Amino acid sequence: MRSRGFDSWAGGSLSAMKTGETFDGIWWSVQVPNGWRAHADEKCATFHQARSFGAFQISSAQKDTTITDTDLEEFANDRIPEGAELIRVAYSNFSGFTACFQKGDLIWREWWLRADRLMVYATYNVSSDSVHKAIKEQADVEGILATLKPKG
């Protein structure tokens, strides 16, 4: 898929992996916490616990030139509902934006992150009924993102 000059690919193993290991996407990697599993298909990598409250997914795209905050804001503004605020975030190797909003009975948190020519789009959603039960899970998602590294 090409969009706005990006080549898109989730990458990674097409089968489930053991917990506590590195998950390798085609252009990035993350550490999978103990108790979590990861698998990928053509569109994204999905991370979950055996008894997850929510779903966490990562996809990525590359561009021929350096990705800018403006690129990220364009993607984000196509996704978030009116009134949702983009908040600047930084992880060790990536920077970008996040937004949190409710759509139907789901609470969504989305990230648009960049490192040079690589853009990572990550989502976490949980039912509004379970959001308070999922505090540890949400902290684990932040921990996964903190280990996000570009390849190459």
Residue 97 has pLDDT above 60, yes or no: yes
pLDDT over 90 at 14, yes or no: no
pTM, full prediction: 0.88
Q: Using one digit for the tens of pLDDT, what is the confidence trace for 106-141?
A: 999 999 999 999 999 999 999 999 999 999 999 999
pLDDT at 19: 55
| pLDDT tens by residue, 26-68 | 999 999 999 999 999 889 999 999 889 999 999 999 999 999 9
pLDDT of residue 40: 92
* pLDDT on residue 16: 44
CATH class of 2-150: alpha beta
CA dist 100 and 109 (Å) reads 4
Which residues have C-beta within 8 Å of that of residue 48, sequence separation ≥ 6? 36, 37, 55, 56
Q: Closest by alpha carbon to 52, among 145, 151, 138?
A: 138
Amino acid at position 49, single letter: Q
User: Is a pLDDT exceeding 60 seen at residue 20?
Assistant: yes
Q: How many residues does the chain have?
A: 152
Domain ranges of the chain: 2-150
pLDDT of residue 50: 84
Among 47-51, 100-104, 143-147, the minimum mean pLDDT is found in 47-51
